[in-house]
Amino acid sequence: MRRDTQHALLVLLGAALLRIAADDTYLRYVRPSHRWLLLAAGAVIVVLAVVGLVRDRAGPPAHEHGHTPWLLLAPVLVIALVAPPALGADAVSRAGAGNPVVQDADVFDPLPPGAPQLPVAEFVQRAVWDTGGSLHGREVVLTGFVVRRGAATELARMTIACCAADARPHRVRLVGDVADPAPDTWLQVRGVLQEGSATSVTGHVPALTVAEATVVPAPPDPYEY
Considering only residues 26 and 189, tell me which one the structure prediction assigns the higher pLDDT. Answer: 189
pLDDT in tens, 88-142: 998 898 887 778 766 666 678 899 999 999 999 999 999 999 988 899 999 999 9
pTM metric for this prediction: 0.81
Per-residue DSSP letters for 142-184?
EEEEEEEETTEEEEEEEE-SSBGGG-EEEEEEEES----PPTT
Q: Do 174 and 210 form a contact (C-beta atoms < 8 A)?
A: yes
Cα 169 to Cα 1, 36, 145, 225, distances in angstroms: 43, 26, 11, 11
Contact 183, 148 (CB under 8 A): yes
Which backbone phi and psi does 105 adopt, to 5 degrees?
A: -165, 160
How does pLDDT run across 79-89, given as a tens digit for each residue? 766 667 788 99
Cβ-contact 133, 126 below 8 angstroms:
no
How high is the mean pLDDT of the chain?
87
- Hey, which residues does 212 pair with through a beta bridge? 190
Q: What is the pLDDT of residues 12-49, one digit of tens each?
A: 889 889 988 988 889 988 999 999 999 999 999 999 98
Lowest mean pLDDT among 71-75, 188-192, 212-216: 71-75
The residue extents of the domains of the chain are: 3-82, 89-215
Say how far apart CA 129 and CA 108 lie, in whole Å.
9
Give the model's pLDDT for residue 106: 65
Q: How many CB atoms lie within 10 A of CB 11?
A: 19
**89-215 has which CATH code?**
2.40.50
